[in-house]
């Protein structure tokens, strides 16, 4: 009898961790995720911030840092990208008009001549992805400006704009 009881406990001890992992992967994943569901209004804002001064930082690290500052996820990878012409899909085809796109450019982002970058300076051929990017922005004169680009649904504008100075400080190192 003692051996039977021992085997039952041993089997239960072996199965319990497997069940716990399975629960966490399937049912528990949504329970453990405390972020609210992403909101899509159909309008996007392209935030252009200073390029990070920290050497060898990638867009993923920047994204994680900005999410930590904001306190929640604010980009939806299923959203289309943005350009001056409107929203576009993965093939670069325009999905909506330019009135669905807004540009917010930090005044510390400067062109090569030292003047502040404006939306009018940006080439219509420049496609901005649907998340966080660190890289060059193509201008109408075929020059580029290094910047951190964040594309988010306009639902998050007030939240992001309230954290803008903290985001700039983080990017400045």
Please tell me whether residues 132 and 102 are part of one structural domain.
yes
The whole-number average pLDDT for the span 76-104 is 84
Is residue 166 assigned to a domain?
Answer: yes
Is residue 107 assigned to a domain?
Answer: yes
Which tens digit of pLDDT belongs to each residue from 52-64? 876 567 778 888 8
Token pair 């649907």 is at which residue?
130
From residue 26, how far is each of 13, 17, 29 by CA, in Å?
Answer: 21, 14, 6
Q: What is the pTM assigned to this prediction?
A: 0.74
Is residue 87 assigned to a domain?
Answer: yes
Please tell me whether residues 156 and 112 are part of one structural domain.
yes
**Of 118, 112, 168, 106, whose CA–CA distance to 145 is shortest?**
112
Is residue 8 assigned to a domain?
Answer: yes
Count of the separate structural domains present in the chain: 2
Which tens digit of pLDDT belongs to each residue from 101-115? 999 999 999 999 999
Q: Please give the angle made by the CA atoms of 163, 45 and 64, to the nearest 5 degrees.
A: 50
Range of the domain at 22: 1-33
Phi, then psi, of 126 in degrees rounded to 5: -75, 120
Please tell me whether residues 71 and 124 are part of one structural domain.
yes
For residue 95 the two structure tokens come to 């999905």
């Amino acid at each position: 009898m003692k051996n039977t009881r021992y085997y039952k406990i041993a089997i239960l001890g072996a199965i319990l961790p497997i069940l716990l992992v399975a629960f966490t992967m399937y049912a528990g994943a949504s329970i453990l995720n405390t972020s609210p569901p992403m909101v899509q209004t159909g309008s996007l804002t392209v935030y252009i911030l200073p390029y990070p001064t920290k050497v060898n930082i990638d867009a993923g690290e920047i994204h994680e840092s900005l999410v930590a500052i904001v306190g929640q996820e604010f980009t939806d990878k299923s959203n289309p990208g943005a350009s001056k012409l409107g929203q576009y899909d993965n093939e670069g085809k325009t999905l909506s008009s330019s009135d669905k796109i807004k540009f917010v450019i930090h005044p510390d982002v400067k062109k090569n001549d030292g003047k502040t970058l404006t939306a009018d300076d940006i080439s219509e051929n420049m496609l901005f992805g649907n998340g966080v990017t660190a890289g060059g922005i193509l201008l109408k004169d075929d020059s580029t400006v290094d910047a951190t680009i964040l594309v988010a649904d306009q639902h998050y504008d007030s939240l992001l704009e309230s954290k803008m100075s903290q985001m700039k400080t983080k990017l400045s190192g």
